[in-house]
């Protein structure tokens, strides 16, 4: 990857089969206006909206048509030769606007690998249903997501699903764009005594809910309908519209080109989007919603998939498959001029958020993040300190005293008055989330409410202490090495005994090496423990916060592993000293052990799969069994307790602790 100084534009290779549609290449035009060099590979010809579209580049447009084999979006392949040539060049970012499970994505990444092109890649996903694809598509998907530097999604659920399937970072929700120069606000207003002009734009397929819309219109004589689109249900829908209760009230326009759509929207008082969720599909975005809003047409939509988030308060939502509710909403919006005007104004504002310049700006931010471009504000301010506390006000007071003078936020998972008083006495911000979601959840709570947005963050356990000078020294070292995501100081306990702070990644094989007593031979320093840990602002922007499935242990290991997958490193700094009491806020060793091993189980399951966890579990079980036979006294008892814990399953035991223990504990989510 060629590093370019801030704020020069990046050199981007984008691959997007649907860029055959001229209007959808506006993203690239806007990116070039922002100073980026964008080369686009598109299909030469592709079926969009039921008709074939031929790529027709404009003058000077940097787009190259590529032949394709196959017509299904997930099952087609590109002619590999243009991709091979492109991968021989140097790029700052490779932006693959294809689903991670698609054959074309696997082809592009295979060529990238063969060409030894090391540019980070960004992937796209709209899939908002949890699906388990057959082999090898399942393998394609996991590998693609796990090694991606960035992910663009058009709805929030797609991002959550991608994270569950292996994407290590923070998805970026970027809408599909709309051209506000093409879709301009019409002057049409509904006439009080005239029929309500209802519009539908889209495919005539069962999951699009056109049948529901026809029944809604049939039930209300005051409604007339115009349908723009074609599809497999067209004959059936036309037959239904010819029946007496709809005769003469439905107009069919057939397929409409992108260029002619603005004139179609200008005919509507209200647009209906009656989509139906099926076992294999839910509305992923709803481009017609944004186009209608940009045209000043209010929207009535079903609650399928991403529609509620997209429509929000700029339209009216109705239950799926409910003709009566759809009809009532259409009549209300088309007849109530005040409501129509309010929704029209809100819709125009919503459309501006999806305008191509706004979309390009979000891609600009994404590219800056995946290329690890420095955030200037992070170099100009001290780090913000975050402490997640649970009782132990005396220890907390010492920790806060050690960093007096820095900006500090304390998240109190115990909601105790004495913790609040300690924070007030120290003059630091106190936050009570109202529940104990664990360490990672507490950190995220503070990150979402940062006093210094864009600064680096120092995580400090309440039973740990570091001087202000030490914190600033860590910050200087972090900032001096652009590839570092986190740094931690050397640590000693109150007796001066040195603790190991840098560790190798946990692996199934490593668990067996540990079980036979050879673990200390592995001197790798892959990540730093989280008791005192400084996190880089740029890494937080790319990786996101901690995984809240982890309760008390291994969350920093998981975060560090995810960061490493995205090109970051971690280091300990022997020259900066700190003190860590260790387990200073917990006196229940069995509960602590359950949380520790449950964190280990979550880590192994997440990064090595269920089989990897069972291999590691077997190693830990054997090792604990051997120790229970060889050791004596307290160490023997501890080994026996671990045997029981591993036999029952650490997560199962932790769940029991949550259900029977502190009522402030949130139920743990399945991971």
Q: What is the pLDDT of residues 191-219, one digit of tens each?
A: 878 899 999 999 999 999 999 999 999 99
Residue 494 has pLDDT above 90, yes or no: no
pLDDT at 9: 87
Residue 561 has pLDDT above 90, yes or no: yes
How far apart CA 411 and CA 432 sit, in angstroms, is 6
Percentage with pLDDT > 90 across the chain = 83
**Strand 93-96 vs strand 77-78: parallel, antiparallel, or unpaired?**
unpaired
pLDDT digits (tens, 9 = 90+) for 26-59: 999 999 999 999 999 999 999 886 778 999 998 8
pLDDT at 1: 37
DSSP summary character for residue 545:
S
In the CATH scheme, what is the code of domain 11-176+358-370? Answer: 3.40.50.2000
The CATH number for 376-583, chosen from 3.30.930.10, 3.40.50.10860, 3.90.550.10, 1.10.3720.10, is 3.90.550.10
pLDDT at 660: 67
Q: Average pLDDT, stretch 218-238?
A: 95
Please, which pLDDT band fits residue 434 given cuts at 50, 70 and 90? Answer: very high
Helix (H) or strand (E) holding 251: strand 250-254
| In the chain, where the domains are located | 11-176+358-370, 196-353, 376-583
How far apart CA 422 and CA 416 sit, in angstroms, is 10
How far apart CA 199 and CA 228 sit, in angstroms, is 8
**Helices 650-660/589-630 angle, 10° precision:** 140
pLDDT at 60: 84
Token pair, residue 514, equals 């540990």
Asked whether this chain's domains 11-176+358-370 and 196-353 adopt the same fold, the reply is yes
Of 99, 102, 53, which is closest to residue 76 (Cα–Cα)? 102
Whether cis (ω within 30° of 0) applies to the bond prior to 294 is no
Residue 259 has pLDDT above 60, yes or no: yes
pLDDT at 6: 44
Between 593 and 293, the more confident residue is 293
Is 522 in contact with 510 (CB distance < 8 Å)? yes
Residue 92 has pLDDT above 50, yes or no: yes
The CATH number for 196-353, chosen from 3.40.50.720, 3.20.20.100, 3.40.50.2000, 3.40.50.150, is 3.40.50.2000
Residue 586 has pLDDT above 60, yes or no: no
DSSP tally for the chain: helices H, then strands E: 24, 28
Helix (H) or strand (E) holding 68: strand 68-69
pLDDT digits (tens, 9 = 90+) for 74-83: 999 999 999 9
Q: How far is CA 618 from the centre of its chain?
A: 33
How far apart CA 283 and CA 351 sit, in angstroms, is 18
Is 262 in contact with 295 (CB distance < 8 Å)? yes
């Amino acid at each position: 990857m060629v590093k370019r100084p801030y704020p020069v534009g990046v050199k981007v290779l984008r691959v997007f089969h649907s860029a055959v549609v001229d209007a959808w290449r506006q993203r690239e035009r806007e990116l070039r206006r922002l100073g980026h060099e964008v080369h686009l590979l598109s299909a030469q010809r592709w079926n969009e909206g039921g008709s074939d579209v031929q790529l027709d580049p404009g003058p000077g447009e940097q787009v190259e048509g590529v032949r394709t084999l196959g017509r299904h979006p997930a099952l087609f392949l590109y002619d590999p030769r243009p991709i091979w040539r492109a991968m021989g060049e140097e790029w700052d970012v490779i932006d693959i606007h294809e689903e991670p499970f698609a054959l074309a994505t696997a082809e592009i990444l295979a060529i990238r690998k063969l060409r030894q092109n090391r540019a980070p890649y960004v992937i796209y996903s709209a899939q908002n249903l949890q699906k388990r694809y057959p082999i090898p598509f399942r393998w394609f998907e996991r590998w693609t997501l796990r090694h991606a530097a960035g992910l663009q999604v058009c709805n929030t659920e797609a991002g959550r699903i991608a994270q569950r399937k292996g994407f290590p970072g923070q998805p970026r929700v970027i809408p599909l764009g709309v051209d506000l120069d093409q879709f301009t606000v019409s002057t049409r207003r509904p006439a009080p005594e005239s029929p309500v002009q209802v519009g539908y734009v889209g495919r005539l397929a069962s999951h699009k809910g056109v049948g529901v819309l026809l029944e809604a219109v049939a039930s209300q004589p005051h409604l007339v309908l115009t349908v723009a689109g074609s599809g497999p249900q067209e004959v059936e829908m036309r037959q239904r519209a010819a029946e007496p209760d709809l005769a003469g009230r439905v107009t069919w326009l057939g397929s409409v080109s992108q260029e002619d759509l603005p004139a179609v929207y200008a005919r509507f008082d209200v647009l209906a989007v009656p989509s139906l969720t099926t076992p294999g599909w839910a509305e992923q975005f709803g481009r017609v919603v944004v186009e209608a809003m940009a045209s000043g047409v209010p929207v009535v939509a079903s609650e399928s998939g991403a529609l509620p988030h997209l429509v929000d308060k700029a339209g009216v939502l109705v239950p799926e498959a409910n003709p009566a509710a759809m009809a009532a909403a259409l009549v209300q919006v088309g007849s109530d001029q005040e409501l129509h005007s309010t929704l029209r104004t809100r819709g125009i504002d919503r459309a501006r958020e999806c305008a191509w310049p706004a979309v390009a700006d979000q891609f600009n931010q994404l590219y800056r993040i995946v290329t690890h471009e420095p955030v200037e504000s992070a170099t100009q301010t001290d780090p913000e300190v975050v402490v997640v506390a649970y009782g132990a006000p005396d220890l907390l007071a010492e920790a806060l005293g050690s960093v007096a003078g820095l900006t500090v936020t304390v998240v109190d998972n115990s909601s105790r008055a004495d913790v609040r008083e300690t924070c007030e006495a120290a003059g630091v911000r106190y936050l009570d989330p109202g529940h104990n979601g664990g360490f990672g959840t507490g950190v995220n709570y503070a990150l979402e409410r940062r006093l210094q947005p864009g600064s680096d963050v120092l995580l400090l356990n309440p039973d740990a202490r570091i001087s202000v000078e030490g914190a600033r020294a860590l910050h200087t070292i972090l900032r001096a090495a652009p590839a570092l995501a986190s740094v931690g100081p050397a640590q000693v306990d109150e007796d001066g005994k040195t603790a190991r702070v840098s560790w190798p990644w946990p692996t199934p094989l490593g668990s067996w090496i540990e079980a036979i007593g050879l673990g200390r031979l592995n001197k790798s320093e892959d990540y730093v423990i989280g008791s005192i840990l400084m996190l880089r602002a740029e890494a937080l922007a790319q990786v996101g916060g901690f995984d809240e499935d982890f309760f008390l242990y291994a969350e920093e290991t998981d975060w560090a592993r995810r960061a490493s997958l995205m090109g970051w490193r971690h280091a300990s700094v022997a020259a900066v000293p700190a003190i860590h009491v260790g387990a200073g806020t917990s006196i229940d060793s069995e509960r602590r052990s359950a949380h520790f091993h449950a964190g280990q189980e979550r880590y192994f399951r997440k990064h090595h799969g269920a089989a990897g966890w069972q291999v590691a579990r077997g190693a830990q079980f054997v090792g604990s069994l051997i120790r229970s036979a060889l050791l004596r006294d307290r160490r023997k008892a501890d080994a026996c307790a671990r045997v029981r814990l591993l036999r029952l399953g650490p997560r199962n035991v932790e769940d029991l602790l949550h259900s029977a223990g502190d009522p402030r504990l949130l139920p743990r989510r399945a991971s």
